[in-house]
Chain A
Amino acid sequence: MHAAETVSTGFLFLAPWLVFAPVIGLLTNIVLGAWFMKRPWGENAVGIVASSASGATFIISVLLTYSLSANHGELPPWYLAEWIHIGDLTLDWQFRVDSLSTTMMLFVSGVATLIHIYAIGYMREDVRFKNDVGRYPRFFVFFNLFLAMMMILVSADSYLMLFVGWEGVGLCSFLLIGFWYELDTLGRPSWANSNAGNKAFIVNRIGDFGFLIAGFIMFWAFGSFQFDVVFEAAQHVAPGVILAITLLMLVGVAGKSAQIPLYVWLPDAMAGPTPVSALIHAATMVTAGVYLIARSAELYTLVPEAQFIVALTGAATALFAATIAVGQYDIKKVLAYSTISQLGFMVAAVGMGAFVAGMFHLVTHAFFKALLFLSAGSVILGLERGHHHAEHSHHEGHKDHKGKHSPNVRAERRASEAKPGDEAFDPNDMRNMGGMRKTMPVTFWLYMIGTLALAGIVPFAGFWSKDEILLEASLHYPIVYWLLTIAAFFTAFYMGRQIWMVFFGEPRHEAAAHAEESKPIITVPLMVLAALSLLGGVLNLPFEGFHNLGHWLEYTFHEVESLPLDTGVAGISTGLALLAILASWFIYGRNPLRAGEVDPLKRQLGPAFVVAERKWFVDEIYHAIIVTPFVKVSQFLADVIDGRFWHDWFHETVIAGTYNWVSNIGLDRYADQRGIDALANGLGRLTQWFAGILRKVQNGFVRSYALSVLLGVVLIVGYLILK
């Protein structure tokens, strides 16, 4: 240990630049974005600034990882600035670089950079479909802000600093879900997107409430937020305190990582542009909860009860969300529920104490889910292109000012779309797709890779990570194992369904028939992600000498069990996955869905499918038991308590009435009229009366004046004589 002081810390001094780099990027785009956009190369410039900021973050992460491994996994925290010094509490802004945080940094910044590049191409088309090109830089400002906040979150040295990042990414999520805040997902004027953003923000506030209380207890029990201090002190307090902290933290995790019962915001969050869904609502931000549990490993391992609850929450979420995904028609909603389900896998893993397995799945999931979302984005764009193409050939005669983006076009388009009975084309709806493997072959193959990785087919990344979780579960909690195994079956089934519906069969809409393949700026980042999804398993293969991630994270978790491959568990899960894909082929692939047809599974399962389609009615139940009573209570408070009681009765009757009574009767009639008025009038009358007496002296007769002079003289003289 004494040698540690002499060892150079390498690139540790770059740690703050993890945050500074994206902040510089976003400031550049705030200041110069509008100026850029006036130039023909403006969008490229904005995109390149943002992507290089993200790329710089990735390079810094690589350098930090290199320095960390050169120092055998031990680096002191990097002090940046004094933050909070109040009483006994000393909290500084310090960056923690250990193997867990660098793992997060690497994949977050890596995936973020790829998605930034993808977004350059995606948003260029998106802003044109929605006729507001000027909004382009804003997207990248939010994206860079998100990256900065995520870096604060993962490099935090204390729970409070982590919370800053935690709230920051929540803010960015809100801003980006409502990126087209005045539209709905179909581009029609509506508050739907903005409502989705609100929902995400408010549900996350409920989770944050749990996190905050956990933080308060932590401060009360340990007097510190710093990870090392808390972990050390936690060894010496009653387990009840730790149990409270960990379970309340689980509420926060359920909010951020979309677990039961707070997952409801994530499907609605798909209202954001697809790169947002990929980066924030699939690959990175939603894993913050998993990271929080992994980071708090030393707290969770102290209380097995909490671990079991966490694992069970995760497993239940995994299965529950997977069943819903089966009944969805929106290509992004399927992926959203899949994300919730996969997050359930991760939460279950870290809950069981299988932190390496959880982190492994977190990383591989980031690769293949980002790939799937971005490919879905590519499909959506292809479909929108096809839709435009089809529209153009329809209105060949009057293709007036399409392609120009004057504000008038926007207004006209909205006016035309607001017409009743005009059904907007939904490019997200899988029922509008079909046969797209011919029109978008590159996207098709990329999507296939993502699907196989998600379904857990050998040798794709998802197989290795999911299998590790299942293996750990089979050793610790059988119930969790079975829940997760069934969830894995559903996973393969809904992904199979999606593949058959989107890419096979005949086009069910002319937009699908005319879909066009995306440009390289969109497909090339996808290829990188596809390669990672294919090879990501190398990170931690279950063979002797290949537990790379396990050994790497050992620096942080100290005790890591490296399990060998269990052919039984792996065989069952792979067999079930293949069975599920086969089943999906039987239902959706053998007889492809035709336009206007009811979903074949719905025909066979009936009500059971409707339950999945309607998401187990959870939104309705929440609406009935939380939102409606809340609205009722609010209305009651507003109308009865505030309106009638406070305003009408208390204010108008009691206060205003008393005031009027006091001023009219008390002050006006008595004090003013009878008091002050009477005094003033009385003085006047007294003067008049006195003057009335005195005026009689002034009688106008000189004789009487002379007499008074005489009398006066007599008086004075008499006085002088008699003195």
Chain B
Amino acid sequence: MVPINYYIVLSAILFTIGALGVLVRRNALIIFMSIELMLNAANLAMVAFSSVLQSFSGQIFVFFVIAVAAAEVAVGLALIVEIFKSKRSIDVDQISSLKG
């Protein structure tokens, strides 16, 4: 059986890639995908712990996260579509009308 450490490391790598993606990319879709990556990194960690600790709590949590992520995707994509309609671009640096 694969030790828990591998899962945690993988999860950490995935989360870091996701977080970096959010921070450095300008394309809204990419940022969105990075967020999904971070969510799933967390999901992976929780499923791994759930299997190690023999507890279902982690898995139930993951289901919730997947469900919420699905809803989030629906809202987020709709927003992106609307932003694109008004700005003809989905470059997040262009969306800076709240600049102080």
Contact surface of A with B, Cβ cutoff 8 Å: 694-703, 706-707, 710
Contacts and interface: CB of A to CB of B under 8 A. Distances in A.
Nearest to B28: A702
A697 B100 CA distance: 8
Interface string B17-35: 0010011101000010000
A698 B98 contact: yes
B28 to A, nearest CB: 9
Nearest to A696: B100
A698 B100 contact: yes
B72 to A, nearest CB: 15
A700 B23 contact: no
B24 to A, nearest CB: 7
Contacts of A697: 100
Contacts of A698: 98-100
B98 to A, nearest CB: 6
B23 A695 contact: no
A703 B28 CA distance: 11
Interface string B74-100: 000000000000000000110111111
Contacts of A707: 23
Contact of B23 (A694, A696, A699, A710): A710
Interface residues of B, number: 14
22 contacts: A695-B100, A696-B100, A697-B100, A698-B98, A698-B100, A699-B96, A699-B100, A700-B95, A700-B96, A700-B97, A700-B98, A700-B99, A700-B100, A702-B31, A702-B92, A702-B93, A703-B23, A703-B24, A703-B26, A703-B93, A706-B23, A710-B23
B95 to A, nearest CB: 7
Contacts of B97: 700
10 smallest beta-carbon distances between A and B, as pairs: A700-B96, A700-B99, A698-B100, A695-B100, A702-B92, A706-B22, A703-B23, A707-B23, A700-B98, A699-B99
Contacts of B26: 703
Contacts of B22: 703, 706
Nearest to A704: B23
Contacts of B98: 698, 700
B25 to A, nearest CB: 8
A589 to B, nearest CB: 126
A702 B95 contact: yes
Nearest to B94: A700
A713 to B, nearest CB: 10
Contacts of A695: 100
B68 to A, nearest CB: 18
B91 to A, nearest CB: 10
Q: Which of A697, A698, A700 has the most CB of B within 10 A?
A: A700
Contacts of A710: 19, 23
Contacts of A702: 31, 92-93, 95
Given A700-B98, A706-B23, 17 more contacts: A695-B100, A699-B100, A700-B95, A700-B96, A700-B99, A701-B92, A701-B93, A701-B96, A702-B92, A702-B95, A703-B22, A703-B23, A703-B26, A703-B92, A703-B93, A706-B22, A710-B19
Nearest to A698: B100
Nearest to A695: B100
Contacts, number: 34
Contacts of B31: 702
A697 B19 CA distance: 20
Contacts of A701: 92-93, 96
A694 B96 CA distance: 17
A710 B38 CA distance: 12
A710 B22 CA distance: 10
Contacts of A694: 100
Interface in B36-93: 92-93
A699 B95 CA distance: 11
A699 B100 CA distance: 6
Contacts of A703: 22-24, 26, 92-93
Nearest to A707: B23
A657 B4 CA distance: 92
A701 B100 CA distance: 11
Contacts of A700: 95-100
Contacts of B93: 701-703
A703 B24 CA distance: 7
A706 B93 CA distance: 13
Contacts of B95: 700, 702
A703 B99 CA distance: 13
Q: Of residues A696, A698, A699, A706, which shows the largest number of chain B Cβ atoms within 10 Å of its Cβ? A: A706
B37 to A, nearest CB: 14
Nearest to A691: B100
B18 to A, nearest CB: 11
Nearest to A706: B22
A153 B93 CA distance: 113
A720 to B, nearest CB: 16
Nearest to A692: B100
Which of B19, B23, B97, B100 is the most central at the interface, judged by chain A CB atoms within 10 Å of its CB? B100
A696 B31 CA distance: 24
Nearest to B93: A701
A698 B99 CA distance: 5
A703 B100 CA distance: 15
A700 B97 CA distance: 7
B76 to A, nearest CB: 13
B36 to A, nearest CB: 15
A701 B98 CA distance: 9
A290 B23 CA distance: 124
A184 B98 CA distance: 97
A702 B27 CA distance: 11
Nearest to B19: A710
B96 to A, nearest CB: 3
A701 B93 CA distance: 6
A102 B100 CA distance: 110
Nearest to A713: B19
Nearest to B31: A702
Nearest to A697: B100
B59 to A, nearest CB: 23
A714 to B, nearest CB: 10
Contacts of B24: 703
B30 to A, nearest CB: 12
Nearest to B95: A702
B50 to A, nearest CB: 21
B23 to A, nearest CB: 5
B93 to A, nearest CB: 6
A469 B24 CA distance: 139
Contacts of B19: 710
Contacts of B23: 703, 706-707, 710
Residue of A696, A698, A701, A702 ringed by the most chain B CB atoms within 10 A: A702
